[in-house]
Amino acid sequence: MADILPFHQKRTPDREPDPLWRDVLGRSLRAAREERGSRLVDVAERAGISPQYLSEIERGRKEPSSEMIAAVTGALGVDLLDLLSDIAGDVRQRRGTGPAVGRRPAGPVLMAA
């Protein structure tokens, strides 16, 4: 029988594993909310979700659907591209590969019609 290998990047002695998406997303959403001086209950109300659920998202306890992410970013007035850029920058910083600012993908960029 073949061995089952876990689906994650191999850990090297000099590098920590990549953070979970939900953790980085939650930190970015909380930072955006706090930058705007918004209260959790107010953002949750505008997004149409409970404050408890938004709190769990911000703490990385829940992995929200794309619809929930869109609702929260809309309630915050955050552009999804800016949020994703912040998340990529956070992951790059944790990896020690430098800031995300000014980086572009190496191939063609596909745009939705």
Assign residue 86 the CATH number of its domain: 1.10.260.40
Q: Please give the chain's pLDDT, 113 residues, in tens.
A: 555 655 555 555 566 787 899 999 999 999 999 999 999 999 999 999 999 999 999 999 999 999 999 999 999 999 999 999 989 988 888 877 655 444 444 433 333 44
**CA–CA dist 76, 60 (Å, integer):** 18
Asked if 91 contacts 19 with a C-beta cutoff of 8 angstroms, the reply is yes
What is the total count of domains within the chain? 1
Cα–Cα distance for residue pair 8/81, rounded to 1 Å? 25
Question: What are the DSSP E strand ranges found in 1-113?
Answer: none
Predicted pLDDT at 18 = 79
| 27 in a structural domain | yes
Q: Please report the pLDDT score of residue 6 as a whole number.
A: 57
Whole-model pTM? 0.71
Residue 53 lies in a domain: yes
Residue 12 inside a domain? The answer is no
